Structure 1
Amino acid sequence: MTMEHLLELDKKHFIHPTSSIQQQQEKGAKIIVEKGEGIYLTDKNGSVYMDVMSSLWNVNVGHGREELAEAAAEQMKKLAFSSAFSTFSHEPAIKLAEKIASLAPKGLNAVFFTSGGSESNDTAFKLVRHYWRIQDQPNRRKIISLKRGYHGVAAASTSATGIPEFWNMAGQMMTDFHHADTPYENGTDKAIVSLRQLIEAEGPETIAAFIAEPVQGAGGVLIPPSDFFKEVRNVCDEYGILLIADEVITGFGRTGKMFGVENWGVTPDLMSFAKGVTSGYVPLGGVIVSNHIHDVLKEKSKGTLFHGYTYSGHPTAAAVALKNLEIIEKEELVENSRKMGEELLKGFQKLKEEIDIVGNVRTIGLLGAVELVQDPKTNKRFSPDYQVAAKVIEALHQRGVICRAVTYEGTDIICFSPPLIINPSQIDSLLERLKGAIKEVKEGLTTV
């Protein structure tokens, strides 16, 4: 098909997720991607882009891995799909559950599979409520999360998300979800005070679980203070509340550890995962639960567990995930994430020294962010009228870089999450293009 034909069909038939419908109708698709290889995407016009968001934080092993296509084809020829309902099982899901348990923090050993991150967090919420109900504590239903957190767009995961725009899209949220202050702006002490106050106000006997991302991704790559999760673990233990780590973005090497919580030596009671488990090649997610929770479910659940998705434990998805995890381990991509993240941080810090609108910069593994501010000394933010983040993203696009901006309460943040295979020369190329994009936007601001 010609580009013109594809653009018209896109406008007519394709409702894009998390996109401006009006913009789509006026300007058409931003790009139409044709193929991917390594850290690069090529569009229908032949233009090549560095994909430094790993698409949606998820293409950990890079684009175009034939091994994953071959794993999918081999499994499809043998058994493309078979239900896991009613205790039916198959080898790929069994082997994947065992593999994920072997990678997870000690004590987390049982896996419930889903199709993606939103389903994983919804599943975690249902499991913890069921856990309390079968122990004669049905009032423990409330879920506490953090402001600026992102946990998905299904009904319950939207409610746990701490970004108001996601609540406003379809009206009223579900009940029994509450949001504590983040430590990123307030520090650990104030954040823990906020969490305690919320628990006491709602009643500890009504709280089922606390959920947080080890690093808040969509909120702007917000890395917590080093003591935050240890304090959260202590508070949860004190009040008998379960701790859920949302590892959808941070899992499988993204932060320089296999799982994000390992950076702070904390073991949660449940971990939700998705994205990097297959590097996005096929949809797959899940929840890992602790031995204690699994034991309670085995001992006290009566009859059927009425929760499950058609594609829970999908054989082809499981086969791809196994091969993907094999690649991550064989190519030592967790360690590469750590090393390249350090190089990326050095580059960001140099930009901060050279360009006076660059404010806070940060990385943890290959998750990173650059903040843009009018005055770094006072952290004075740009007026929203300037649309600084959006302009930098467009300037990067013109330089062949696909990136993502977050603007939150006046803070302009450019986020980075490149594939874990990225190498030093590609880091240098990215930094050079970023420098040019920020300088271009800065020069344009002087004329506004």
Structure 2
Amino acid sequence: MSYDTAASATWPADLSAYCFEVPYSSDTVLFDSAKGIRLFDTAGREYLDGLSGVFVTCFGYDCQPIIDAIRDQLRVLPFNPPLHGVNRPALELARSLVALAPASITAAKLVNGGSECVEAAMRLARLYHRTHGNPGKIKVLSHYHGYHGSTFGSLSLTGRPDVARFGPGVPGMVHVWPPDCLEEFWGVDAEVAQHLAASMIERTIQAEGPDSVAAVIVEPVIHLRGMAISTTAYLSRLREICDRYGVLLVFDEIVTGFGRTGQPFAAQTFGVSPDLLCVGKGISGGYSPLAAVLMSQRVAEILGEPGRPRSFAPSHTYAANPIGSAAGAAAVRLFQEGSFLTRIRSLSHYIEPRLRATIAGRGALRAIGLLYGVKLAADGADRSSSGAKVARACLKRGLVIRGQDDWLAMAPAFVTSEADADAMLDILGDALDEVFGGRP
């Protein structure tokens, strides 16, 4: 199967009214429908979704329990006045998320997306220190080459040069190098890199002044570094450093959360509990915009007495709305009752060795649960753009993955069958052959 995606779709004559999320090109697909893990464009062309949309549609595109929950909620309460009350699905979802999270987590603030979630975590961190008599602790440390969102505060935490076009970010955002960059840019041994990167964070806190630093936020798996996976040793060291200097530790688990790493959250996979846990993407299965910031007991206590209702404002009009909350509550219920952790681990054990064989020396595989990154080799292709070339070759064959710079990312849905996984890997192998000139 091979076709020109844009040419195969029936596009309107005038596209000027719509502002695309990413630049329009010959690869842009006009999607029309979906079923299971398959998408269809307006010409009826079929695409296997090897990315779960973008780490979101973990139950596929026709998950009846979530659809039914949304339909039922639409009939009784599509929206409630947020200044005057809340709704039952929101209460259920908050309780379910707290139960799913590490034991230290006791409260959940529902929002609409990952960027809002990170913004809320930043505000909570500053409020925490102000409440405890330290209003000067406002700075937040984050990784270079990490990604934390597209609103201005979360974008300021994103340590990538391409965001500089928007001008100076929010004051007080400080970037540090992650272990993976020390390995690649300076040739540091992997184990040593983990130690040095943690030490650099401690040195940075000391240099900025511990009385000025509110939080450290990290992705346990850095998506835009080709799924660079942290180690338990690194994250544990960060936990120790944050405790030593009175700094909150925040995990951005927008990508890794909700089962992706083989546990409900990467915090449990690595055995390190943060003070704030940002979760989103798969939390509603892709059926409604939804995210949440989960709080440890010591953070939650600044919002109200233990055992009593808590509040945190200002908020957003659609935060904790009945439709999104119903979708999320149904997704969490399905996740728990459908033995999905067992299914995730089984599918990951099936895919990983086959994916490694498919790559066949043309890159290094990074795998954790159903989250895969491939750091591509330089030989046979221009490394700086090889990821995009392979992703485009996959798309024209009917497979959706992500490719950028010198890396690829895959994140199959939890409901992917072994046969569908084989079909994805066959396409990926053909695409790699096209870009790299055949298997070594």
Q: TM-score, normalised by structure 1?
A: 0.89
Work out whether 1:433 is the aligned partner of 2:437. no
Q: In structure 2, do the counterparts of structure 1 residues 172 and 371 end up closer, same or farther at CA, with 3 Å as the change threshold?
A: same
Question: Out of 330, 337, 344, which is 2:351 matched to?
Answer: 344
Judging changes above 3 Å, is the alpha-carbon distance between structure 1 residues 296 and 153 closer, same or farther for their aligned structure 2 residues? Answer: same
Instruction: Label 1:443 to 1:4 Cα distance change in 2 as closer, same or farther (>3 A).
Output: closer
C-alpha separation in 2, matches of 1:117 and 1:279: 14
1:108–1:382 Cα change, 3 Å? same
Q: Quick one: which of 136, 149, 153 aligns to 2:150?
A: 153
Q: Distance in 1 between matches of 2:36 and 2:230?
A: 30
What's the CA shift for 1:381?
A: 8.5
In structure 2, runs of 5+ residues without a counterpart are: 1-6, 183-192
Deviations 1:146-175 (A, max 9, x none): 11211101111001112221x223221111
Which residue pairs with 1:395 in the alignment?
393
Give me the whole-angstrom Cα distance separating, in 2, the residues matched to 1:5 and 1:425.
Answer: 30
Distance, in Å, in 2 between the alignment partners of 1:444 and 1:175 is 49
Partner of 1:208: 214
2:225 and 2:407 in contact (8 A); partners too: no
Q: Distance in 1 between matches of 2:88 and 2:435?
A: 54
State whether structure 2 residue 13 is matched by structure 1 residue 8: yes
2-side partners of 1:7 and 1:418: how far apart?
31
Q: Of 166, 172, 176, which aligns to 2:168?
A: 172
After TM superposition, list the pairs within 5 Å mapping 1:8-407 onto structure 2. 8-9=13-14, 11-17=15-21, 19-20=22-23, 23-24=24-25, 27=26, 30-86=28-84, 88-165=85-162, 167-186=163-182, 187-298=193-304, 305-352=312-359, 354=360, 356=361, 358-375=362-379, 382=382, 384=384, 387-407=385-405
Contact kept, 8 Å, 1:339 with 1:365, in 2: the verdict is: no
The residue matched to 1:339 in structure 2 has which SS? helix
Letter matched to residue 443 of structure 1: G
Structure 1 residue 89, shift from structure 2 partner: 2.1
Is the deviation greater in 36-45 or in 63-72?
63-72
**RMSD in angstroms over aligned alpha carbons?**
2.3
Which amino acid is 1:340 matched to? Answer: L
- Measure how far apart 1:350 and its partner are: 1.3
For residues 305 and 216 of structure 2, what CA distance do their matches in structure 1 show? 24
Contact kept? 2:252, 2:278, Cα under 8 Å:
yes
Secondary structure in 2 matching 1:13: coil
Counterpart residue identity of residue 317, structure 1: G
Q: Secondary structure at the match of 1:89?
A: coil
Structure-2 separation of matches of 1:5 and 1:430: 26
**CA deviation map 1:110-164 (0-9, x unaligned):** 1111110000000010111111112221100000111121110111100111222
> How much has 1:182 moved relative to structure 2?
0.5
Residue 348 (structure 1) shift: 2.5
C-alpha separation between the residues in 2 aligned to 1:113 and 1:305? 10
Tell me the CA shift for residue 209 of structure 1.
0.6
Q: 1:381 to 1:174 in 2, by over 3 A?
A: farther
Point out the more displaced range, 437-446 or 98-107: 437-446
Contact 2:376 2:383 in 1 (8 A): no
Determine if contact 1:150/1:218 at 8 Å carries over to the other structure: yes
Distance 2:365 2:439 in 1: 21
Q: Which moved more, 1:118-127 or 1:289-298?
A: 289-298
The total of aligned residue pairs comes to 421
Q: Give the letter aligned to residue 137 of structure 1.
A: N
Find the residue that maps to 1:12 and give its secondary structure: coil
Distance 1:164 1:219 in 2: 14
C-alpha distance in 2 between matches for 1:185 and 1:106: 32
Q: Indicate the percent of aligned positions where both proteins have the same amino acid.
A: 29
Structure 1: which 5+ residue stretches go unaligned?
Answer: none
